[in-house]
Amino acid sequence: MYFSSICKISTITKSTRILSILTLSLGFIACQSFQSQSDSEEKNNLALKTRISISADLIDRGQAATALSDLRALLIEQPDSPDVLTMNAIAHLALSNYKQALTLQTKAYNLENSTAMGVTLAGIMIVNEKLDAAEKLLLKLSQDATYSFPERILQNLGLIYEKKGKFNLAISQYKKALSLNPTYFPAMNLLGRVYEKTGNQANATLVYKNAALICPACYEPINLLFQQLIMKNKHQEAINLVDIYLKGSDLLPENRTLALQLRKRAEALGQKQATREKHGTPKGG
């Protein structure tokens, strides 16, 4: 789930479909928008709330183009609504229209100068490779002691430093995010990936295992652990890992399908390795 399911990860009620580092980060940026939105929804009429909710659900289901059709009409009706602007930005974000998303969210932030809106804007800046501007904004926003989700600011700062190749700084920010919220799922995966980039496979494995324990229904940490095992030609261990995951009763159908695909891949690679060994063919042959 791109949108609302990702927001629920912090309470570990649902799993996510496979996500890139960037999408995972942006998913939580979207949650910030929902937080700001939820505060303002009390003042909006029921029709507006319903349309926004329907659009969010469509984006969550991977139907951002359909959602955008109504969101554009809604934007014409309410061109200065920060919530409508943010929902349009998120729809464009889901469709990889990054520049348009940046334009919309910049306007939303100018209209509602809140930390939540600013963190969303900073995340979209990161997508547009405006790293210095995003860092400056996040450092400013980090001074807001009333913001309920400072771990998201730290995570996005970590992402900036990771993109800049400042891996030690990135690791520091991800760790700080986790110190504030030990169950903050996206920071775990990002931290694990940086450990892998710096050659620290052991620490990466520990982080992924912890993520899998915190969210046993989530696909991402299982996939990351699986990839590590495959790289080591530990095909049977990879199969066992997936089998344990598949025993979960609350897996989303798409995640179960993805896990079954992993299992088939491990079986095929295991058979190929067994054939090579039987005929004495070198691994690279």
Listed by start position, the domains of the chain span 4-187
CATH of 4-187, one of 3.40.50.2300, 3.30.365.10, 1.25.40.10, 3.40.50.720: 1.25.40.10
pTM for the model: 0.78
Mean pLDDT of the chain: 84
User: pLDDT value at position 29?
Assistant: 42
Position 32 pLDDT exceeds 70: no
Q: Where are the alpha helices (DSSP H) in 181-219?
A: 185-197, 201-214
Give the model's confidence band at 281: pLDDT under 50 very low, under 70 low, under 90 confident, else very high.
Answer: low
Position 129 pLDDT exceeds 50: yes
Rounded CA-CA distance 128/151 in Å is: 22
DSSP reduced 3-state for 50: helix
Position 187 pLDDT exceeds 70: yes
Give the tokens for residue 273.
């390795």
User: pLDDT value at position 52?
Assistant: 87
Tokens 């995640």 belong to which residue?
Answer: 255
Position 28 pLDDT exceeds 70: no
132 touches 125 (CB < 8 A): no
User: pLDDT value at position 39?
Assistant: 55
31 touches 7 (CB < 8 A): yes
Rounded average pLDDT over 63-73:
92
**Phi and psi dihedrals of 216, rounded to 5?**
-65, -20
Torsion of the alpha carbons at 9, 15, 20 and 25, rounded to the nearest 10: -10
Rounded CA-CA distance 256/254 in Å is: 5
Q: What percent of the chain has pLDDT over 70?
A: 82
